[in-house]
Amino acid sequence: MKILVTGGAGFIGSNFIRHILRTYPRYAVLNLDKLTYAGNLENLADLESNPNYQFIKGDVCVSADIESALRGVDAIVHFAAESHVDRSIADARAFVETNVQGTYNLMDSARRNRVGRFLYVSTDEVYGSLAPGDRADEGFPLAPNSPYAASKAASDLLARSFWHTYAFPVIITRASNNYGPYQFPEKLIPLMITLALEGSKLPVYGDGLNERDWIFVEDHCRALSIVLHDGRGGEIYNIGYGQPVSNLTVVRQILRILGRTDEAIEFVTDRPGHDRRYALNAAKIERELGWKPEVGLDAGLIRTVEWYRSHPDWIQEAKSGEYREYYERFYVNRGTSLAEI
Which of the residues are catalytic? 124-125, 148
Residues in region 51-110 near ligand TYD by CB under 6 A = 85
CB of 58 to ligand NAD, least distance (A): 6
One character per residue 175-194, x = contact with ligand TYD (rule: CB under 6 A)? --x---------xx--x---
> If contact means CB under 5 to 8 A according to the sort of partner, which of ligand NAD, ligand TYD, none does residue 247 touch?
ligand TYD
Taking CA atoms, 330 is separated from 276, 283, 311, 340, in Å, by 20, 38, 24, 11
Q: Which of 58, 56, 48 is nearest to 18 (CA)?
A: 48
Instruction: Name 246's bridge partners.
Output: 211
As a whole number of angstroms, the distance between CA 154 and CA 168 comes to 17
Pair type for strands 202-205 and 170-175 = unpaired
Give the residue from 252, 222, 257 showing the smallest Cα distance to 239.
222
Task: Dihedral sign for Cα 184, 293, 306, 51, please.
Answer: negative
> Residue 5 CB, nearest distance to ligand NAD (Å)?
10
C-beta of 276: minimal distance to ligand TYD in Å? 8
Q: Which does 255 bind (CB under 5 to 8 A by kind): ligand NAD, ligand TYD, none?
A: none
Site string for ligand TYD, 243-282 (x = CB under 6 A): ----x-----------------------x-----------
- DSSP class of residue 199 equals T
Minimum CB distance to ligand NAD smaller for 264 or for 314:
314
- Rounded CA-CA distance 242/313 in Å is 34
C-alpha to C-alpha distance for 247 and 256, rounded to whole angstroms: 14
Q: Is 123 in the site for ligand NAD (CB under 6 A)?
A: yes
Q: Which of 295, 166, 183 is nearest to 233 (CA)?
A: 166
Q: Which is nearer to ligand TYD, 17 or 204 (CB)?
A: 204
Site for ligand NAD (CB under 6 A): how many residues?
29
- 3-state secondary structure at position 36: coil
Of 1-9, 266-274, 282-290, 310-318, the segment contacting ligand NAD by CB under 6 A is 1-9
- What is the closest distance, in whole angstroms, from the C-beta atom of residue 161 to ligand NAD in the complex? 18
Looking at 7, 58, 169, 203, which residue binds ligand TYD (CB under 6 A)? 203
102 binds, among ligand NAD, ligand TYD, none (CB under 5 to 8 A by kind): ligand NAD
Query: Phi and psi dihedrals of 194, rounded to 5?
Result: -70, -35
Phi, psi values for residue 134, rounded to 5°: -75, 150
Q: Give me the least distance between CB of 296 and ligand TYD, in Å please.
A: 18
Please, are residues 15 and 9 in contact by the beta-carbon 8 Å criterion? no
121 binds ligand NAD (CB under 6 A): yes
Sign of CA dihedral 249, 251, 256, 261: negative
Residue closest to ligand NAD (Cβ): 10
**Selection from 65, 72, 62, 74 nearest residue 116 by Cα:** 74
Instruction: Name which of residues 12 to 71 contact ligand NAD (CB under 6 A).
Output: 12-13, 33-36, 38-39, 59-61
Q: Which stretch binds ligand NAD (CB under 6 A): 80-88, 139-147, 263-271, 293-301?
A: 80-88
The one-letter code for the residue type at 329 is R
User: Which residues sit at the interface with ligand TYD, rule CB under 6 A?
Assistant: 85, 177, 187-188, 191, 203-205, 210, 212, 247, 271
